[in-house]
Structure formats: C-alpha cells, structure tokens
Amino acid sequence: MTRSYERLKRCFESIEGRIPFRPKAALVLGSGLGEYAEHIQVDATLEYRDIADFPVSTVSGHRGRFVFGHIGTVPVVMMQGRIHYYEGYSMEDVVLPIRLMHRMGADLLFLTNASGSVNPEFQAGDFMLITDHIMNFVPSPLIGQNEEALGCRFPDMSEIYSRELRESVKRIARELGIPLREGVYIQTSGPNFETPAEVRMCRVLGADAVGMSTACEAVAARHMGMKICGISCISNLGAGLSPETLRDEDVRITAARVAPQFRRLVTALISRIGTSVHPGEEKRDG
C-alpha cells in the first residue's frame, strides 16, 4: 500500500460516520461559483479542517468544505472551495479531495472553474464546455509509486472528458436556451495571470481558455475510472486581448452576473445525467 493511499484511507476513516449518504455525483465549484451550494437541498456539511491530514483551502472566497445534498433526486457531494497547486501544496494534496469523493462513492465528476479566454472569439460571461486539456505546465498527479487499488500505471487519456456527457450537456444547454462554447482548457501553475506572450503561446498550442486548476483533477479522476464533465465560466479575456488590466475581482463580478444561468445549467445537468448515465466498468478502490 502506498503512502498516498494510506493517507486517503485515514481521511476517509476519519469522516466515514459523518457522511449522510453514498453520493452518485461529485461537483467542484470553481472561483466565484461557490454560492451554488446555497441553492440546493443541503443534508450535511463537512469542513476540510475537520478531516484528518487534509489540506485546507487558503484562497479568499473558497469556503473550504464539502457540502452533501440532493440536486433533483441525485445525491451529490460538492467541493465549496478547491485546493490549488499555487497555494504551495503538493499535487498529491491538490487531488486528494477528488480521490476522497470517489472513495465516498461518487462515479461522476462535474468540474467547474473560472478561466481566462485565449480565444479572441470568446467573451467574459461565456460558458465553455471542456473538450480536452493541456497540462504540461504543472506536474502530473500520478507521478510516484502507482496504487493499483486506484487505477493502472499508465491510464489512457484519449477521452478524459466523456463524449457521452458532453453530448448530454450540449443537448440540455440547447433546451434551456443557454449559449455554450466548446474548447480546450490549459492549466498553468499561477497564481499570477499570464503575460500577453504566454496567452499567445497558449493559443498556438491549441487552447481556448486558461486557468490554474481542473486538468490535474480530471487526470486523477480518470485514473480511478470516473466519468468527467468540465465547464469553464469565462471570467475575462487574457492579457493582450483587451486593454483592461486583469484583476481577481473580475472573476467574482462575472460569476455573479452569470450565476442564474449557471444554476439552471448545472441543476439540469446533474438532475438528468446523474439518473441516466452509468459509468463503465472501473477499478474500485475497495
């Protein structure tokens, strides 16, 4: 048993008696989107600081807790505040919450984030369905001794964001009349925003949006056999694409503006997908 897997077991055992149900879906609420958790039926909450050997989010606006509740009839666990690599945590720390939610029982993962556009056709307030990602600028969360109880040594990433889920998202967005972009997300380390030259580089590499999270979480989830859906809220245009100076406040301002549409989309997605999609055979972690 690897050290990281022993740690995962300690975390789970320290809270097992406080988990109100076995969640079907896990939802990570990105920057500025955490208020979604206030609009569902909440059954229980669990502060990160109350979990044994668990990292604590240090970013302003990230509550730092798991929220257990129901979206429609689907039992879900939500991260109200994620852990970031730029906070100084190891990549093992960053993806530990994803592994823990899978250990709780979740087999569907919905990742959301606020990101900057590197595609000049995108505008602040757009939603972008993540079709693929680039993660070469931060370490893989799978570096180190592999734990076979979680997944194989060399997991396939050719369809990390489920095509089936993406088609469902597009169909539901059309039904709701919510415009939806599609594109490739690139993760950088942060915490600084990218320079104009780096934005141009990201575009040359094939990215449409850039952020400081999400891709590493998707890799860890795919390693465990989860089905993954990712949606970015475009909070700003990347440096050099507009004359505006980039500010962290832009994330909160844009997220607040599109929050009603975000709630409608996510609620419909999980209510329908969570009861209709059945992940393929996966290796369970016992």
Task: Read off the pLDDT of residues 21-75 as tens digits, 9 standing for 90 and up.
Answer: 999 999 999 877 878 888 888 999 999 999 999 998 877 666 789 999 999 999 9
Q: Is 285's pLDDT higher than 50? A: no
205 neighbors 186 (Cβ within 8 angstroms): yes
Q: Taking the model in full, what pTM does it have?
A: 0.93
User: Judging by beta carbons within 10 Å of its beta carbon (0-12, 13-18, 19+), is residue 144 exposed, middle or buried?
Assistant: middle
Residue 284 lies in a domain: no
The pair of three-digit structure tokens given for residue 43, joined into one six-digit string: 């059954």
Cα angle: 77, vertex 105, 165; to 5 degrees: 75
Residue 143 lies in a domain: yes
Residue 190 lies in a domain: yes
Residue 211 lies in a domain: yes
Residue 285 lies in a domain: no
pLDDT band at residue 275 using 50, 70 and 90 as cut-offs? low
CATH code (residue 162): 3.40.50.1580
Q: What is the pLDDT of residues 187-207, one digit of tens each?
A: 999 999 999 999 999 999 999
Residues of the domain holding 112: 3-276
Residue 283 lies in a domain: no
Q: Who's near 9: CB < 8 A, 6+ residues apart?
A: none
Where does the chain have alpha helices with state H?
Answer: 3-15, 91-104, 163-176, 196-205, 215-223, 249-276
Residue 281 lies in a domain: no
Query: How many distinct structural domains can be found in the chain?
Result: 1
Residue 66 lies in a domain: yes
From 154-158, 194-198, 218-222, 243-247, the region with the lowest mean pLDDT: 243-247
